[in-house]
Structure 1
Amino acid sequence: MAGGSRDALAAPVDVAAEVVIVGGGIAGLATAVALRRVGMGGVLVLERQGELRATGAALTIFPNGWFALRALGIAHKLTCRYDAFQTGEVGVRPVHRKVLLEALAKELPPATIRFSSKVISISTETRGGSPGEIVVVLLDDGTVIRSKILIGCDGVHSVVARWLGLPEAATSGRSAVRGLSVYPDGHGFKKGLRQFLSAGLRAGMGPISDTDVYWFLVNNTTTAGKQNEVGTDPAKILREVTENVGRNLPAEYLDVVCHSDPGSLTWAPLLYRHPWAVLTGRASYGPITVAGDAFHPMTPDMAQGGCAALEDAVVLARALSRAPKLADGVAAYISERRCRVAWLVAGAYLSGWVQQGGSSVQGVRSYIIRLFRDLIFYKFLFPKLADAMWYNCGDLKPRNEIGKNYSE
């Protein structure tokens, strides 16, 4: 597996790279793989953690995500391991997040990923009288990295997005608990996603393998104070889910929750960037841009966060490979992605809002929302959102093959 480390006692040094990617999650590693697929070298991924991120037990990949993974050259490594759900009209496969990260990392040369690297400042230098040609990144250990391109893939609270001036992510008024349950002797569940709805709450569970089951609980009743009280303590999270927030859910679901691997449990507010901010915000400056949650954080109600990040990687690499100047490639990427990801952000938010009856809405308004959900959303809007899950972001071709008939 690709990896890298630094000696904490070593003196700070200056480092040069063609491309610097901040963040070693799905967006960051996928972008690094995509750039290598089009023949761009000198890629350096800066990950603030000491190893590949383990946060997030699993994710569901829809067809658009599989199209992107095929372009990245790793789809076959996952489809042979994970079966498609047996229910639903849209073919999807759940995968372990860590397995996806490892599959991406294995496509990268050794030392591509620099772990324990926290970015504390970003600036630009002029070269030959042209502003912004060289990007300068300063790490917390004093290391200075200069590159021709900087891509922020550092999540919802992105340092790069903040430097660009993108608005901070907004709260959706909801939070989500997620976990991975393990049945060493097998769980016996049918492969498919099952959901449970009640006032202000949406829960679900789905097998990933014969022994592992992913589950989630999205609610708009838990206050920020309660989340702070529970924190990251697995025992407190389980107790809050089974005895308070989810106490009225079916016994079968609660049994799955009780089988959770403590290390997989997370509880966090659901944040998103307003669609108009995605459409109009400054998502690039010369050779500096963002991808994944750093660009378009969204709620998980359409399971499109990871899929959209994979699409970003393919589109960005292709745009850079075709452009005469790097800044032109970045601009082309943003232009191509804005409308699509803004639609996904809006669709995800709307989907979650109507499924749970509207955040903190009671009485007549709640009734009207349910009518909208049943008579308009599911009949007219959701089919259009479902079509977005079949989007094909296209293939990747090496720069010396652009314009030729190329296939793997």
Structure 2
Amino acid sequence: MQQKEAGEEAVVVVGAGIAGLAVALGLHRKGVKCSVLESSPELRASGFAFATWTNAWQALDNLGVGDKIRKLHLHLQELHVFSSSTGEITRRADLTVQGKRGPNELRCVRRDWLLRALEEELPKGTIRYSSKIVAIEEDGNAKIIHLADGAILRAKVLIGCDGVNSVVAKWLGLTKPSSSGRLATRGLAHYPDGHGLDPRFKMFVGHGFRAGVIPCNETDAYWFFTWSPSEHESNGVEESAEKMKQFVLTKLRSSKIPTEVLEVVERSNINDVVASPLRFRPPLSLLLASISKGNACVAGDALHPMTPDLGQGGCAALEDGVALARCLGDALLGGGGAAESERIEASLREYARIRRWRSVELVGTAYVVGIVQQSNNAVISFLRDKWLAGVLAGRLLKMADYDCGKL
């Protein structure tokens, strides 16, 4: 395919997921134009929904879309942690208690609704769909980006928000994410006449898996199921949504799981059930990683892929968006000239400094919490049910009590 002449871009963001759109909207609010390259022909809403904690709402408020999303989702009042082996509640936690930075807030947000809300706030044409990067080169202070359709872009700043298999992260030299040895299945159940579920996050731990049900609004309920598959359990299960759904139901029915939870899984449309391996970037590698290099950096899952055990993956991506837009926006608004490239590099180093330790803490904590919650070991199960359940619930709230700062 014949290559097209390079087009000049100030800032190029790779990936129109949560992190990419948050960065783009943050820069737009600061008065900085950018282009977002998305390899898919439309917005991707995989994952269905995600827990949106206090720290994420602060970020969304900074981006100017907090109330727009709030009104579409239930404010969850309590967390109930159950033992999958006994069916007993091992911990109740008030999700509205006062934190260091104000009252806690948790809602389960539909991913597609959030992405559309962020997209609607961006200038038309900001997102370039069907734009897949195939190569990155350097030319002085500029990044030369080659796309699959032959187009070439010349960018002052390159920001990789392209997920766990990030092309930009690979170019920066970040280590490949590691397998956690676990899989996650997620689904969304729709009740046209209302599900009648209480505004509670119900989580079931132990018995070799971790599962939960969270109402998003009056008609949608999100569920998840994570486990470490043995060879016979994983045989063909991931290849079929129907097999995956039946596998989850079989595991839940063999445990002390309430009927209303089983009904949520049963009601899920077969097209709304997916399974995926859980990967994470080892915390030690993040301590040494080149989060930024020159005028390029990464954010979201491209920076800190983590297991979902804290419900902080999407929340951390929103934090990244605000922090990066603040640092970079101020640098770009300082004027052009020879000093601009130095300001850009300094701003990305500052962003990396801010996000490095936060990323290390989130990834490491999520990994340990997941092992403890899912374990079927007799000693760990006893400690978890008698004591650790409260500690783990406290960690969820502590990780959410974080201030990413203003734009």
TM-score scaled to structure 2, two decimals?
0.86
Query: Do structure 1's residue 14 and structure 2's residue 6 form an aligned pair?
Result: yes
The answer on whether the counterparts of 1:173 and 1:220 sit within 8 Å (CA) in structure 2 is: yes
Distance 1:172 1:233, change over 3 A: same
Cα distance in 1 for residues equivalent to 2:281 and 2:253: 28
Displacement of 1:38 after TM fit?
1.4
1:1-400 superposed matches below 5 A: 12-41=4-33, 43-88=34-79, 89-90=94-95, 91-126=105-140, 133-223=141-231, 227=234, 229-231=236-238, 233-243=240-250, 247-248=254-255, 249-323=257-331, 325-357=343-375, 366-370=377-381, 373=384, 377-378=388-389, 383=394, 386-396=397-407
Distance 1:92 1:373, change over 3 A: same
The answer on whether the counterparts of 2:295 and 2:344 sit within 8 Å (CA) in structure 1 is: yes
Displacement of 1:243 after TM fit?
3.3
Counterpart of 1:129 in structure 2 is none
- Give SS of 1:346's match: helix
> Share of identical aligned residues, percent?
42
Displacement of 1:395 after TM fit?
1.3
Cα distance in 2 for residues equivalent to 1:70 and 1:269: 32
- Give SS of 1:177's match: strand
Cα distance in 1 for residues equivalent to 2:20 and 2:52: 17
Cα RMSD (Å): 2.1
The answer on whether the counterparts of 1:200 and 1:221 sit within 8 Å (CA) in structure 2 is: no
Deviation digits for residues 296-322 of structure 1, max 9, x if unmatched? 001101100000000001111111133
Displacement of 1:235 after TM fit?
1.9
- Give SS of 1:229's match: coil
Distance 1:378 1:66, change over 3 A: same
Displacement of 1:377 after TM fit?
4.7
The answer on whether the counterparts of 2:186 and 2:224 sit within 8 Å (CA) in structure 1 is: yes
The answer on whether the counterparts of 2:75 and 2:199 sit within 8 Å (CA) in structure 1 is: yes
Larger relative contact order (CA 8 Å, sep ≥ 6): 2
- Give SS of 2:250's match: helix
Displacement of 1:234 after TM fit?
2.5
- Give SS of 2:78's match: coil
Corresponding pairs, count: 373
Deviation digits for residues 92-114 of structure 1, max 9, x if unmatched? 01111000000000111111111
Report the AA paired with residue 295 of structure 1: L
Displacement of 1:388 after TM fit?
2.5
The answer on whether the counterparts of 1:241 and 1:247 sit within 8 Å (CA) in structure 2 is: no
The answer on whether the counterparts of 1:222 and 1:245 sit within 8 Å (CA) in structure 2 is: no
Distance 1:242 1:375, change over 3 A: closer
Cα distance in 1 for residues equivalent to 2:122 and 2:3: 26
Distance 1:60 1:385, change over 3 A: closer
The answer on whether the counterparts of 2:252 and 2:262 sit within 8 Å (CA) in structure 1 is: no
Structure 2, gaps ≥5 residues long: 80-93, 96-104, 332-339
- Give SS of 2:368's match: helix
Displacement of 1:381 after TM fit?
6.9
Report the AA paired with residue 115 of structure 1: Y
- Give SS of 1:146's match: strand
